[in-house]
Structure 1
């Protein structure tokens, strides 16, 4: 399930692996029998997010090769490398240079097995890394976060924004809020607003095609079904302790 989510998200241009990981984590939490373990090192959550993260790479190759649209920053670099060699990604690449297409597919296929072998060979090292005390781990993570955010636009405003949202996230987590939907909404909001404005420009400000076209209507129905299903799953999870308590006290 998580691999399918990651592949689908990878096909969508500019969305990125972070969205795929967050969505897979959310679906895994909703479908888990022990959702209370999520956010505390649950194996289900780790496997779900990492499986989706890896699957987005393969999904992002589909718009890259077939349409010449990068699905991630890495794919944008790959397009630049192909352009340097006078190769234009897109439908014509399959006819003019089919060997390039099959080389890319072959390298991705082989890299999957190489990564699997590395994971098996270095699993004990990774386990030891996971046992590093938080007192040493968190400062290093904070430094990497600050450096990474600052390097985007070379401005301290981004750093202060990151720290501010970190404080907000800490307070929300202490208050018992689920941060998954908040993160997904924050990441997707910019893309959704840009695509909505683009669509309204094509329809001269008319929003009715969203409810008339089969594709958009199907996506809206799917979103509604997921909303109802998540509410039902949460209500069922909250009601289950009461049921068990009733069984224990006849």
Structure 2
């Protein structure tokens, strides 16, 4: 049955995902920028070589790079979640494990590497369920699935036997696409970076218009626009209180999926929660989740003890 609708028909479909994400991640930042619009924008001196990682950067960031790649690939394999969630999850993880979490949100290299690496890794990870099981891992993979079906190709285990050249062609195309995008971004980055110095008085209204159009277009409801604005205020208050909005967005995306899977598991095991701790795989994930939650507190205790 329906829950927490408060007899409002607009709430029967719940808060749609896009307005919530736009509000928490975009509108909250817009409000922050509008509040701080009088502050001058610092102009940085950059060069073409500065776009590349130095050996020293690679030494400092290799673990973050590897961890973010694994997070992005793993989340990409899970159907329907996408690169945005992977980027947020990786960014939040990097922030929690960082010795200088206060630098996140200011353009620190750790945050950029974490988010972009996971985002790119998720794209390739999403191909795994598509090729092996015929389940699209993202919206783009739905189009690829449709293209395969149009050509009388059925993604799944038999595709490796019946049309191995298609499978390896997709893998090769993914590799080539990354190289092409790398070359394209080398040329485009100097132009894109100039957006940082556009007068925010002109930029913010345009962003708000696109957000309103995006929120309204998903369901053609004005209610979704108000939802976006409401969550934008919530996100701004969270940022003001130094509370990260990333975990909220991850929870909002994954909670419905987790609830459905939990109900399926409870039905299979006669409403028993014991398999969550008796099965090695689920127990391992629970332990990892608990350790991840405790890690920031343990790190602070370790720092305090070392200072004393």
Matches within 5 A, 1:134-153: 134-153=200-219
Whether the 8 Å CA contact 1:15–1:191 is kept in 2: the answer is no
Aligned to 1:4: 70
TM-score normalised over the length of structure 2: 0.73
Alignment of 1:133-212 (within 5 A): 133-212=199-278
Map of 1:76 onto structure 2: 142
Tell me how far 1:231 sits from its aligned partner.
Answer: 2.1
1:96 aligns with 162
- Point out which structure has higher relative CO (alpha carbons under 8 A, 6+ apart): 2
Check conservation: 2:82, 2:123, Cα contact below 8 A. no
Residue of structure 2 equivalent to 1:116: 182
CA apart distance, 1:166: 0.8
Change (3 A) 1:190 1:138: farther
| Residue 76 (structure 2) pairs with residue 17 (structure 1) | no
Q: 1:59 maps to which residue?
A: 125
1:85 is matched with 151
How far, CA to CA, are the matches of 1:103 and 1:5 in structure 2? 25
Deviation at 1:235, TM superposition (A): 4.7
Q: Do the aligned residues in 2 keep the contact of 1:21 with 1:48 (CA within 8 Å)?
A: yes
| Count of equivalent residues | 242
Q: Secondary structure at the match of 1:204?
A: coil
* Superposition RMSD in Å: 2.0
Match of 1:232?
298
Please say if residues 7 and 58 of structure 1, whose CA atoms lie closer than 8 Å, have aligned partners that are also in contact: yes
> Per residue, is there more helix in 1 or in 2?
1
SS state of the match for residue 122, structure 1? helix
Q: CA shift at 1:34, angstroms?
A: 2.1
Q: Kindly tell me: are residues 2 and 86 of structure 1, through their superposed partners in 2, closer, same or farther at Cα, counting changes over 3 Å?
A: same
**8 Å contact kept, 2:74–2:125:** yes
TM, length-normalised to structure 1:
0.89
Offset at 1:236? 5.2
Q: Deviations over 1:90-124 (max 9, x none)?
A: 11111111111111111101011111111222221
Q: Secondary structure at the match of 1:69?
A: coil
Match of residue 288 from structure 2? 222
Given that 1:6 and 1:53 are in contact with CA atoms closer than 8 Å, whether structure 2 keeps it comes out as yes
Q: Flag the 1:118–1:234 CA change in 2: closer, same or farther, 3 A.
A: farther
Question: Against the structure 1 CA distance between its residues 144 and 186, is the aligned structure 2 distance closer, same or farther, given a 3 Å change threshold?
Answer: same
The question of 1:45 aligning with 2:111 is answered: yes
